[in-house]
């Protein structure tokens, strides 16, 4: 079994999607949040996953926070660290320690729209498609090697809220797939930037999801 630790800051919908996917060989052994009020902690406890809180607001420096976060994550002896709505930018030392075994999901088709407010920015740019990206985490924010993307249409009457809801549904599909590949030993990061899925096709790494409700 591969031991998976998930970092969250909020409701934990991607955490729930990962757990409910029942990925063979994946043991979700811990959930860590930087916010004690994060709703995802309650879900984790309800399914028997151990939780911990490292509140960034109680530390004077980012370095002190990340040192405590690292110690907490290491208690679970993870094979894979998964960021699922973790709203803190992690420093280079932390990221380098988990190089090649830390994944993040971002609500845009990277490299387009790194950072925040991705849905409003996609609408303002006149995008016809939008989506989500699972990538390895590197010191460059939202700049790590891409593992898989999910693409959804942008509809004429979309708002940032309706588009966000559509993208979230595709996030819940592609993140379990990426973790499944890692657990199966099929996901290989070549270090310099390339990613390979052993035994897979390039086409498997882009999922097109229609807007079923409109």
Q: What percent of the chain has pLDDT over 90?
A: 90
Burial class (CB in 10 A: 0-12, 13-18, 19+), 176: buried
Q: Respond yes or no: is residue 106 known to be catalytic.
A: yes
The tens digit of pLDDT for each residue in 98-131 reads 999 999 999 999 999 999 999 999 999 999 999 9
With a cut of 70, say whether residue 191 has pLDDT above it. no
pLDDT, mean of residues 132-153: 96
Class of domain 1-98: alpha beta
Count of Cβ atoms closer than 10 Å to residue 55 Cβ: 13
Structure tokens at 129: 């498609």
> Domain residues of the chain, as ranges?
1-98, 105-214
The tens digit of pLDDT for each residue in 80-100 reads 999 999 999 999 999 999 999
Distance set, CA 146 to CA 27, 66, 91, 124, 206 (Å): 24, 25, 20, 24, 10
Q: What is the structure's pLDDT at 188?
A: 86
Q: What is the structure's pLDDT at 206?
A: 94
Q: Which CATH superfamily is domain 105-214 in?
A: Formyl transferase, N-terminal domain (3.40.50.170)
Res. 69 pLDDT band, cuts 50 70 90 = very high
Q: Do domains 1-98 and 105-214 have the same CATH topology?
A: yes
Specify the pTM.
0.95
CA 76 from centre of chain: 19
CA 26/CA 182 separation, integer angstroms? 9
Among the options 70, 106, 119, 135, which is catalytic?
106
Q: What is the chain's Cα-based Rg?
A: 17
């Amino acid at each position: 079994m591969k031991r998976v630790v998930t970092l969250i800051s909020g409701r934990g919908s991607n955490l729930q999607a990962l757990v409910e996917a029942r990925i063979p060989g994946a043991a979700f052994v811990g959930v860590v949040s930087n916010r004690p009020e994060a709703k995802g902690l309650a879900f984790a406890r309800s399914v028997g996953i151990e939780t911990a809180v490292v509140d960034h607001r109680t530390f004077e420096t980012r370095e002190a926070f990340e040192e405590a976060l690292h110690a907490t994550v290491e208690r679970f002896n993870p094979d894979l660290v998964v960021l699922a709505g973790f709203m803190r930018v992690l420093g280079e030392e932390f990221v380098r320690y988990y190089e090649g075994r830390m994944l993040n999901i971002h609500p845009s088709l990277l490299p387009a729209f790194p950072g925040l407010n991705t849905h409003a920015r996609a609408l303002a740019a006149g995008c016809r498609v939008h989506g989500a990206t699972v990538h390895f985490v590197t010191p460059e924010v939202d700049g790590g090697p891409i593992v898989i993307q999910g693409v959804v249409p942008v509809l004429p009457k979309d708002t940032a809220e309706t588009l966000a809801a559509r993208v979230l549904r595709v996030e819940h599909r592609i993140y379990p797939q990426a973790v499944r590949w890692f657990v199966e030993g099929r996901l290989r990061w070549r270090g310099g930037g390339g990613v390979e899925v052993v035994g897979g096709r390039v086409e498997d790494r882009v999922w097109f999801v229609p807007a079923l409700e409109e």
